[in-house]
Structure 1
Amino acid sequence: MPIAVLIAAEPLPAGELNAATDKLHQAGLVVGTSHWVEPGLVGEVRFTGDRAAANDALEPLRAAADVLVLDEAARDPRLLVSDMDSTMIVNECIDELADYAGVKPQVAAITERAMQGELDFEAALRERVALLEGLSEHVIADCLAQRIRPMPGARTLVRTLSRRGADCVLVSGGFHSFADVIGAELGFNAVFANRLVIEHGHLTGDLEGTIVDAARKAAILMEQSVGQGLEARQVIALGDGANDIPMLKAAGTGIAYHAKPAAIAAADAHIAHGDWTVLLHALGIARADWSD
């Protein structure tokens, strides 16, 4: 049975859950039970019918709260596959490196167009990395320490799901130099990313190995899922940009996070207001069971 979960940062009016129920009724859906998990903050409505119709019906409520409509069977994921930049961390690592190299405006403009899906990802990545030629490798450690910050709620989400038995995998179109550190800090079990070529202590402006692009992200998700013998409902993917779309579609549940329009359109649900603990609420995991 599908379930709609309303999650707000500030208390909603008492009648907001009734409003959700009414909108589902008006859309021709059969509404079951509804209740506040946390009064005014987290509410659930179970219903029978089409999830897409429910999403459309509940759209007006998204002005004040995150509303995630999921299959109840998806509330016990065994595999979580997530993007890194602007998803698990607040930054775009390549843009921050570019700032040290004095080329951030040029690189950030390319990044934005790539995230919107306007450019071929691999070509855009290689163009940006080429602009970093000559940058000292020591800048990477400085950048990690001084600029890179986890997305609010990211550590809690990953560690909570991992403790409950989910395999958590970080897949990044960024770089192992960052992703390995961030993955370990947040609690991921495995990390896939791109590798910068470094010679004599400086970036050469090149990459080595297979590029982790949109297709590779989706392929990693499928490899992990098939390898563990999982059903689609047991797999969740998280992302924010065009490069994440195939992965979001390949998962049983794709979640877009403060995302670009194309990623939102491809995902099953979208978090627009809150942090990553919104997903814990949507999965029905009580605060008392969250891990730090």
Structure 2
Amino acid sequence: MSQKQLYITHSQDIFQLINGGFLADSQIEISRGNVRGIWSDESIGGLSLSSDDKVIPVVTQQFVFLSKQLSETVIEGVIALLPKQDWTVSLLSSHLDVEKLTIRLSERLSSTENTNLYQYCNDNNVDLIECNDTKPTLLKPGLVVLDMDSTSITIECIDEIAKLADVGDEVAEITELAMQGKLDFSESLRLRVSKLKGIEVSLLDSIANNLPLMPGMAALAKSFKEHGWRVAIASGGFTYFADNLKVQLGLDAAVSNTLVIEDGKLTGEVAGTIVDAQVKADTIEVLAKEYDIEPSQTIAIGDGANDLVMMKKAALGIAYHAKPVVQQQADVAINYGDLRSVIALLSD
């Protein structure tokens, strides 16, 4: 496609474009209050070719803002919080209906300015991510490994099983402590599973056959696959559900725990090695080697303390609607958008 560089003299024009929606390959640049747009073979009325040939300076800090809709008011609020600099360059784009604003600064924000910017975004349900250009790219093959419960699906499967055994509250309490990192995961899993002894396996089908996908999960898996990526699940949950999810979404792999079954009932035991934090991390390394994926092209996504080792093993660790301890240690935290935000973050 041919490309046209266009010049907009009034910032209001950019907000009209925002409110009207973007195409996936649209980009808009703002430089010192003026707007320069680059579209692939698009015709936009009222815009003229730009003669601006200024060189963009070295970037010292880069922020990405993600939201279902970045309104004029929100963007004006963001710009108002930025200090006066010689250069501020921004890009606007939309990916899978997630709007993305990238601001590159020639000078780093102070600690106070940084805090104020994050607070403003939190107040407006905007995911703010400080990142650099070394993150994995969709332009070449990669591997993304996701946790299952409360990340790929909206439920904790073991809690749902526990409800069938009338021990829901008791198991949920243990689950929460484990997710917060206040209880050893392997110990907590064996304790929780022991309380499920005697449940008819047939009852699990009602859960396995109706797994509620996390919003954006199907789109995330489809988009990654379209870009030549491998998509896998590494879960402290159970094969009864993870294998079902693998088939449903056409995933490349699913690693999880096996419940022991005798005479059609759960024995209250887990077979073999527990899929704990280290096993999850090892899964990234094993699958990357199996699929010949560069380590720099690996991503881990999770929500609990049991996912932190996996996140550190990957080139990019993403905390998704996660516990505070996980958000603090992850490379990236997505708290407001759905899983499509991951694709928007990686898209250029």
Indicate the percent of aligned positions where both proteins have the same amino acid. 36
- Alpha-carbon deviations, 1:6-53, whole Å to 9, x = none? 122344235626735953x57x9x966313225994212235688997
Quote the Cα distance in structure 2 between the aligned partners of 1:223 and 1:48.
Answer: 40
TM-score w.r.t. the length of structure 2 is: 0.73
Deviation at 1:207, TM superposition (A): 0.8
In the alignment, is residue 33 of structure 1 matched against residue 92 of structure 2?
no
Q: Map of 1:241-280 to 2, 5 A cutoff?
A: 241-280=304-343
- Counterpart residue number, 2:226: 163
Aligned partners of 2:81 and 2:117 also within 8 Å: no
TM-score w.r.t. the length of structure 1 is: 0.86
- Counterpart residue number, 1:99: 163
Greater helix share, 1 or 2?
Answer: 1
Quote the Cα distance in structure 2 between the aligned partners of 1:52 and 1:256.
Answer: 25
Q: Give the structure, 1 or 2, with the largest relative contact order (CA under 8 Å, sep 6 or more).
A: 1
- Alpha-carbon deviations, 1:137-183, whole Å to 9, x = none? 1011112235x300000011011101211111100000000000112
In the alignment, is residue 43 of structure 1 matched against residue 107 of structure 2?
no
Aligned partners of 2:142 and 2:294 also within 8 Å: no
Quote the Cα distance in structure 2 between the aligned partners of 1:183 and 1:107.
Answer: 26
Distance 1:21 1:173, change over 3 A: farther
Deviation at 1:273, TM superposition (A): 0.8
Q: How many residues align?
A: 281
Aligned partners of 2:317 and 2:330 also within 8 Å: yes
Aligned partners of 2:81 and 2:116 also within 8 Å: no
Quote the Cα distance in structure 1 between the aligned partners of 2:314 and 2:263.
Answer: 41
Quote the Cα distance in structure 2 between the aligned partners of 1:40 and 1:215.
Answer: 33
Quote the Cα distance in structure 2 between the aligned partners of 1:171 and 1:51.
Answer: 37
Quote the Cα distance in structure 1 between the aligned partners of 2:116 and 2:294.
Answer: 28
In the alignment, residue 207 of structure 2 is paired with which amino acid?
A: C
Q: Which runs of 5+ in 2 are unaligned?
A: 1-58
In the alignment, residue 314 of structure 2 is paired with which amino acid?
A: A
- Counterpart residue number, 1:6: 65
Quote the Cα distance in structure 1 between the aligned partners of 2:255 and 2:146.
Answer: 10
Aligned partners of 2:298 and 2:316 also within 8 Å: yes
Pick aligned residue for 2:193 from 118, 129, 132 = 129
Aligned partners of 2:193 and 2:268 also within 8 Å: yes
Aligned partners of 1:31 and 1:45 also within 8 Å: no
Q: Which runs of 5+ in 1 are unaligned?
A: 286-292
Larger radius of gyration: 2
